[in-house]
């Protein structure tokens, strides 16, 4: 059979646990290099690099958050088809091809490593012990499982390549979804046994990461009702079992939601696995661009200029009305911790002046309405505000009915103050893929699907209690200005108000709806939402109900993505189109 050279070979190393992926092109080195310990170490590091094609990338954003029930259209320069489901969601769309190629390159690196690690002689490094070899095998099995899990959720039936191959095959049949899930589970069961509890280098997965991902895979497979994923009767038991192992090992959630999410605390016990980036420009490449995607066009507001703290405005997507209203904004601290509503003036030369039409008093006419350091923009959830009140406010005030697709409450946790300059697009923050709070919600859903609604409510409540305001914690001013609270309650706990009862989730529909809503509140911008909707078989229903931008064109077949045409064109003996392509795309 004729074959073609396919994979890109890179060597990667580290200079300590805070630096990751120092890249050196060694594509002229033969594959015999991977029969040495240095080669194995380089190969294992190379297996990580393709995570960056998803975690933090625009491709990852488009296939995960665009066009869902909680994120909607902004009509900017890139990605609109993913919001509105036009015919540009097609096999020739480069986003799908980029992710497909990157992940299969990662899979091939993992396959080579899995094949060669057991027999490669040690030169005194990590392979000198059985424990070290097993840890490296655990890493690449974890990575291979992650790549396949993402691919099978997106594309359904896909080629399943589990053996080393240093050339591209021109015949690759799509494997059943059930068999792909079996391979993923086998990889993760092995990884969860051999990975260590902790790693000296932060980029590497631990036992808890493998167990979390295994629980999520079992939950996803077992969630299927009409879809065929090879679901088994023990899937929910297994999801609950592995989720509980992670919870026991990692312990309770951090007491403050902001403590887990803020950029200053990138590595904490709740971050089970992340795509590592760096402040070192030599190793960071183009960096993590996700800091740009949620930023509103604040620099168009008088008194504002682009700066480092406020980040770079790409406005790739904005919250839907559903997302705003999923929060109990009075009692749930997550909303005002997650969303920025106030911008402080940083530009003096375009601050507007009071006029005779809007000045609260005659003596203010001709004076600046505010100064640098004052509020320049405030977006709020006030309702039915008279125009006169808005016009006489010193700063620009946008109550809810005046939100636009450029100015609205902005998700804040991807903002990157480590950038060097206002126009610097190179992000430095890690992109978190697996969270401990999600482990709690996996356990809750698994127990709920098993009919143990009390246990399910207990795990949900642990997430919600952390989200509550604690006794003595001062709430934002919106608590009494907008959300109906009183000044007397400003430092009172809201824990009792955040608790749910088992009765609230005691049917399959109420359970799934509540879990989806809680996942949106806890992890709104992480690259999960499209996958959550497809997993729970609620994709078409919720998108058409809650996203007016997507509703006219979205169709049930959009629960799968098109197989890239570039892949099909490479096949020497391609079958009928319905065999090689997903329904709706031919």
Query: pLDDT truncated to tens, each residue of the chain (586 aa)?
Result: 333 323 333 333 333 333 333 333 434 457 789 999 999 999 999 999 999 999 999 999 999 999 999 999 998 878 999 999 999 999 999 999 999 999 999 999 999 999 999 999 999 999 999 999 999 999 999 999 999 999 999 999 999 999 998 776 788 899 999 999 999 999 999 999 999 999 999 899 999 999 999 999 999 999 999 999 999 999 999 999 999 999 999 999 999 999 999 999 999 999 999 999 988 887 888 899 999 999 999 999 999 999 999 999 999 999 999 999 999 999 999 999 999 999 999 999 999 999 999 999 999 999 999 999 999 999 999 999 999 999 999 999 999 999 999 999 999 999 999 999 999 999 999 999 999 999 999 999 999 999 999 999 999 999 999 999 999 999 999 999 999 999 999 999 999 999 999 999 999 999 999 999 999 999 999 999 999 999 999 999 999 999 999 999 999 999 999 999 999 999 998 999 999 999 999 9
Structure tokens at 175: 């494997």
Tell me the pairing of strands 271-275 and 431-435.
Answer: antiparallel
d(CA 83, CA 217) in angstroms, rounded, equals 27
Output the CA torsion sign for 518, 520, 525, 527.
Answer: positive
Check: CB of residue 348 under 8 Å from CB of residue 306. Answer: no
Q: Which residue has the tokens 């919870």?
A: 247
Residue closest to 417 by CA, chosen among 258, 263, 259, 313: 263
Nearest to 310 by CA among 175, 215, 423: 423
Where does residue 102 fall: left (phi above 0), alpha (psi -120 to 50 degrees), or beta otherwise?
alpha
Beta bridge partners of 353: 368
Instruction: Please give the CATH number for the structural domain made up of 4-253+277-288+561-580.
Output: 1.25.40.390
175 φ, ψ to 5°? -90, 155
Which pLDDT score, from 0 to 100, does residue 170 have? 81
* Continuous H helices in 26-129: 37-48, 58-64, 80-84, 94-116
What is d(CA 517, CA 137) in angstroms, rounded to the nearest whole number? 37
Query: What separation in angstroms does the CA of 354 have from each of 343, 371, 417, 570?
Result: 20, 13, 33, 66
Euclidean distance between CA atoms 204 and 62, whole angstroms: 26
Contacts for 130 with CB less than 8 Å, ≥ 6 apart: none
* Nearest-10 crossing angle of helices 235-250, 207-223: 150
Q: Which residues of 163-174 are buried (b: 16+ CB within 10 A; e: fewer)?
A: ebbeeebeebeb
Three-point CA angle 79, 398, 261, nearest 5°: 60
Q: For the purposes of burial, counting CB atoms within 10 Å of the CB of 284, is it exposed (0-12), middle (13-18) or buried (19 or more)?
A: buried
User: Are residues 523 and 438 in contact, defined by beta-carbon separation less than 8 angstroms?
Assistant: yes
Q: Tell me how far apart the alpha carbons of residues 96 and 83 are, in angstroms, rounded to a whole number.
A: 15
**Is beta strand 375-379 parallel, antiparallel or unpaired with respect to 10-13?**
unpaired
- Where do the CATH 1.25.40.390 domains begin and end in the chain? 4-253+277-288+561-580
- For residues 232 and 221, is the Cβ–Cβ distance under 8 A? yes
273: DSSP letter? E
Do the beta carbons of residue 113 and residue 129 sit within 8 Å? no
Q: How far apart are CA 355 and CA 21, in angstroms?
A: 57
Residue 108 to residue 6: CA distance in whole angstroms:
10
Q: Are 539 and 504 in contact (CB under 8 A)?
A: no
Torsion angle of the four alpha carbons 434, 65, 94, 419, in this order, in degrees rounded to the nearest 10: -70
Closest CA to 431 of 253, 234, 275: 275
Q: CA 178 → CA 149, 174, 229, 583, distances in Å?
A: 12, 12, 5, 18
| pTM over cut 0.85 | yes
Structure tokens at 252: 């309770």
Task: Quote the pLDDT of residue 29.
Answer: 58
- Residue 269 buriedness (CB in 10 A; 0-12 / 13-18 / 19+): middle
């Amino acid at each position: 059979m004729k074959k073609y050279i396919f994979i890109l070979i890179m060597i990667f190393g580290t200079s300590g646990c805070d630096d990751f992926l120092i890249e050196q092109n060694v594509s002229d080195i033969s594959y015999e290099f991977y029969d040495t310990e240095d080669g194995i170490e380089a190969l294992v590091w190379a297996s990580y690099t393709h995570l960056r094609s998803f975690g933090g990338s625009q491709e990852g954003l488009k296939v995960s958050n665009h066009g869902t029930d909680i994120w909607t259209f902004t009509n900017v320069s890139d990605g609109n088809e993913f919001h509105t489901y036009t015919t540009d969601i097609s096999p020739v769309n480069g986003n799908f091809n980029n992710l497909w190629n990157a992940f299969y390159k990662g899979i091939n690196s993992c396959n080579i490593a899995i094949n060669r690690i057991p027999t490669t002689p040690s030169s005194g490094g990590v392979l000198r012990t059985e424990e070290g070899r097993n840890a490296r095998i655990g890493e690449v099995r974890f990575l291979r499982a992650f790549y396949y899990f993402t691919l099978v959720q997106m594309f359904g039936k896909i080629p399943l390549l589990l053996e080393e191959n240093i050339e591209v095959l021109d015949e690759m049949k799509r494997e059943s979804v059930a068999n792909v899930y079996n391979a993923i589970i086998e990889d993760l069961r092995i990884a969860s046994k051999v990975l260590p509890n902790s790693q000296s280098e932060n980029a590497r997965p631990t036992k808890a990461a493998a167990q979390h991902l295994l629980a999520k895979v079992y939950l996803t497979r077992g969630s299927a009702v009409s879809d065929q994923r090879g679901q088994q009767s023990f899937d929910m038991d297994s999801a609950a079992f592995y989720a509980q192992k992670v919870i026991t090992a990692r312990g309770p959630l951090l007491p403050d939601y902001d403590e887990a999410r803020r950029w200053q605390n990138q590595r904490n016990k709740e971050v089970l696995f992340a795509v590592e980036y760096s402040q070192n420009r030599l190793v960071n490449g183009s960096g993590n661009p996700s800091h740009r995607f949620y930023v509103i066009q604040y620099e168009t507001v008088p008194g504002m200029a682009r700066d480092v703290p406020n980040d770079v405005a790409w406005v790739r997507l904005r919250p839907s009305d559903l997302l705003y209203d999923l929060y109990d904004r009075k009692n749930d601290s997550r909303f005002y911790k997650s969303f920025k509503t106030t911008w402080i003036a940083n530009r003096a030369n375009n601050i507007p002046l009071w006029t005779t039409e809007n000045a609260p008093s005659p003596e203010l006419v001709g004076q600046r309405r505010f100064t640098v350091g004052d509020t320049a923009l405030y977006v709020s959830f006030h309702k039915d505000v008279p125009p006169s009140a808005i016009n006489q406010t010193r700063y620009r005030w946008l109550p809810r009915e005046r939100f636009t697709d450029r100015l609205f409450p902005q998700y804040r946790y991807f903002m990157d103050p480590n950038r060097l300059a206002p126009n610097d697009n190179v992000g430095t923050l890690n992109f978190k893929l697996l969270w401990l709070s999600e482990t709690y919600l996996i356990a809750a859903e698994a127990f709920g699907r098993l009919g143990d609604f009390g246990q399910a409510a207990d795990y949900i409540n642990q997430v919600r209690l952390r989200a509550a305001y604690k006794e003595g914690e001062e709430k934002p001013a919106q608590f009494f200005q907008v959300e109906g609270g009183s000044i007397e309650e400003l430092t009172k706990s809201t824990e009792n108000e955040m608790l749910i009862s088992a009765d609230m989730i005691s049917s399959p529909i109420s359970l799934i709806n509540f879990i989806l809503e809680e996942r949106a509140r806890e992890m709104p911008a992480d690259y999960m939402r499209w996958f959550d909707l497809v997993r729970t078989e609620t994709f078409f229903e919720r998108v058409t109900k809650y996203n007016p931008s997507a509703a006219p064109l979205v169709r049930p077949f959009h629960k799968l993505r098109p197989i890239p045409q570039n892949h099909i064109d490479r096949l020497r003996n391609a079958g009928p189109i319905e065999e090689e392509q997903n329904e709706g795309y031919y």
